[in-house]
């Protein structure tokens, strides 16, 4: 079920990058002050939902249900233009306005779901080629695609996005989506290149720096040492509480057998997680293993 939602999010998200601009062009004339306030309120609530989902406070089913209800309320409060003001925009634009607003609201939610499931292939696994057993923090690497989504169809969508970015290279959101798409396909070198472009355009976004580090490590034989660590440090400088950056920083320290440092990073992460979340349990298990190794005791 989760895999289906993730891949659906990928396809819809990519499609919206092409569909939203023409839909919105005809709707600009009808935007009013009240509509803008309503949209702002719903975006704030959507951001809250994304944070709750990312932190493990909401299950996938709860997140999806609340997001759908939020979209429906937006369509009710900001309907297509009617009455005298409707003459300001052509009929086609009026009919598409509600669709554009709903799509614009759905895209961040879909991107958030994609980020949580596919954009963190090594966020919670220690990347180590040493003889020690890595802590039991599971990997969220891209899984097999459902049959209903053909490999060719996905690749064509990604190629179309890449081609558009060649013509419009200043689109940070587009490069971000391309990076996530390549990550889900296991094309980590291309994903890291896309994130390099995204970070150049949006250098204050800590999430982009840590995704860049993650994919670069995957493209470099699953090794975090070197440039990936530098990128992780940039992310932490921007946001010391970035969950993925703290997880990867701990993984990098574990990889280099600096177990006390790994424990330090993961304990910082522990303080930010819900006590009863699966992520908390996994991080706690990783800390326990790092502490064992630091004391010279191997795992049984």
pLDDT in tens, 53-96: 766 777 666 766 776 676 656 655 544 333 333 333 344 444 44
Last residue of a domain, one of 202, 219, 234: 202
Domain count, the chain: 3
Give the chain's largest Cα–Cα span.
78
Residues 182 and 212 in one domain: no
Last residue of a domain, one of 167, 202, 237: 202
What six digits make up the tokens of 51? 């944070």
Highest mean pLDDT among 6-10, 25-29, 192-196: 192-196
CA 208, 51, 264, 142 dihedral sign is negative
CA–CA dist 220, 255 (Å, integer): 14
What six digits make up the tokens of 14? 């990519």
CA–CA dist 229, 218 (Å, integer): 13
Structural domain range at position 22:
2-78+92-118
Residues 106 and 170 in one domain: no
**Distance spanning both ends of the chain, measured CA to CA:** 35
Say which residue, 5 or 13, is predicted with more confidence.
13
> What pLDDT does residue 40 have?
66
Count of positions (residues) in the chain: 300
């Amino acid at each position: 079920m989760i895999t289906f939602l993730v891949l659906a999010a990928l396809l819809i998200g990519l499609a919206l990058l092409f569909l939203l601009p023409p839909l919105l062009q005809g709707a600009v004339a009808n935007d009013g002050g009240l509509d803008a306030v309503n949209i702002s309120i719903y975006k704030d609530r959507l951001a809250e939902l994304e944070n709750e989902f990312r932190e493990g406070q909401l299950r996938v089913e709860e997140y999806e249900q609340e997001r759908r209800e939020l979209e429906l309320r937006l369509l009710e409060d900001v309907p297509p233009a009617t009455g005298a003001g409707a003459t300001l925009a052509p009929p086609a634009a009026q009919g598409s306005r509600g669709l554009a607003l709903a799509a614009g609201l759905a895209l961040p939610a879909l991107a958030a779901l994609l980020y949580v499931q596919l954009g963190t292939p090594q966020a919670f696994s220690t990347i180590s080629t040493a003889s020690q057993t890595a802590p039991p923090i599971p990997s969220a690497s891209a899984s097999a695609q459902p049959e209903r989504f053909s490999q060719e169809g996905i690749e064509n969508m990604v190629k179309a996005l890449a081609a558009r970015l060649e013509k419009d290279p200043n689109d940070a959101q587009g490069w971000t989506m391309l990076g996530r798409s390549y990550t889900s396909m296991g094309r980590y070198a291309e994903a890291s290149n896309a994130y390099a472009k995204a970070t150049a355009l949006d250098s204050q976004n800590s999430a982009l720096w840590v995704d860049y580090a993650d994919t670069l490590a995957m493209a470099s034989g699953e090794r975090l040492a070197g440039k990936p660590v530098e990128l992780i440090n940039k992310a932490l400088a921007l946001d010391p509480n970035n969950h993925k950056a703290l997880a990867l920083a701990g993984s990098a320290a574990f990889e280099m057998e600096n177990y006390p440092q790994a424990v330090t990073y993961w304990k910082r992460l522990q303080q930010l997680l819900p006590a009863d979340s699966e992520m908390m349990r996994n991080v706690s298990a990783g800390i326990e293993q790092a502490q064992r190794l630091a004391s010279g005791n191997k795992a049984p």
